[in-house]
Amino acid sequence: MRCPPLFKTCPTVCMTVSLAVVGAGLFAFAPLQDAPQAKEWGVHDRARPQPALVTVAACCAAPSDAKVLFGGSDLSALQSGDGACKWTVENGELCVAPGSGNIQTKDSFGSCQLHIEWMVPETCHCEDQHGCNSGIFFMGRYELQILGSNPNKTYVDGMAGAMYGQYPPLVNACNPNGKWNTYDVVFDAPKFNADGSLQQAGAMTVFLNGVLVQNHSAIKGATAHAAKAAYSAHASKLPISIQDHGDPLHFRNIWIRSLAE
């Protein structure tokens, strides 16, 4: 397993950043108001419950409480439609089978922390949205764009690190084709009222290669192409899908931690 380039020489820093990402996600869900059942803890209250102990084998490897979605060979956590995953495994990497369609997790997820590494092969030619496009669709509808973006000029809310059609990344931290990129994401699922109206927008915090590119960006609705995003009520947990945009991207080291509401 590997550390993002920024932290290659310091696994401790990397682990600290990972824990900070988790902390940020949990903080985002901390009930600030309207939670009468929540206990008000005093400063330095020694009765306050200890956080769960989580062990990390190495930088960017799945921590002990994560679910591994792809670790190098087993495709059993993924599927194409209702059937077996049609993407292939080569040299421990999950490879898009262009034209076979998106894949998705068998399990459903709401708020979560996701780690995923992706690479555009050096042989790919990126031009605008073509040649090296994929994406991660949280709950099957909120896309964190994957696109070879170093170099590749396109509309900024469609480049690597963008919430597609909604927010550009804060900076372009994408590696050149042929090199691996790492996404560490805290996804906050939206909430809906009983009548289907939006109660609370979802949000994404995203690190690309260890660099913050989305800072708890409020999701405007389901991803749409050349159209304004809009919400429609859905289940509290749904599969995550990875996009087949017709380009032969590779993935590895995919793991997820569900976050408490």
161 binds Mg ion (CB under 5 A): no
* Smallest gap from residue 146 Cβ to Mg ion (A): 6
Name the residue nearer to Mg ion (CB basis): 80 or 134: 134
In the stretch 117-156, what mask flags binding to Mg ion with x, by CB under 5 A?
----------------x-x---------------------
Interatomic CA distance for residues 169 and 211, integer angstroms: 10
The type of residue at 87 is W
Q: Which residues make beta-bridge pairs with 90?
A: 93
> Which residue's C-beta sits nearest to Mg ion?
135
Name the residue nearer to Mg ion (CB basis): 133 or 154: 133
Name the residue nearer to Mg ion (CB basis): 31 or 246: 246
* Smallest gap from residue 23 Cβ to Mg ion (A): 29
* Smallest gap from residue 108 Cβ to Mg ion (A): 21
The type of residue at 208 is L
Please state, as a whole number, how many other Cβ atoms lie within 10 Å of the Cβ of residue 18: 22
* Smallest gap from residue 17 Cβ to Mg ion (A): 26
The residue count for binding Mg ion (CB under 5 A) is 3
Burial of 68 by CB count in 10 Å (0-12 exposed, 13-18 middle, 19+ buried)?
A: middle
First to last CA, the chain: 30
DSSP per-residue codes, 200-236: E--EEEEEETTEEEEEEEEP-SB--SSS--B-----S
In the stretch 170-199, what mask flags binding to Mg ion with x, by CB under 5 A?
------------------------------
Question: 160 and 249 in contact (C-beta within 8 Å)?
Answer: no
Show contacts with Mg ion in window 229-248 (CB under 5 A).
Answer: 243
Joined together, the tokens standing for residue 148 give 């070879």
Show contacts with Mg ion in window 209-228 (CB under 5 A).
Answer: none
Tell me which residues touch Mg ion (CB under 5 A).
133, 135, 243
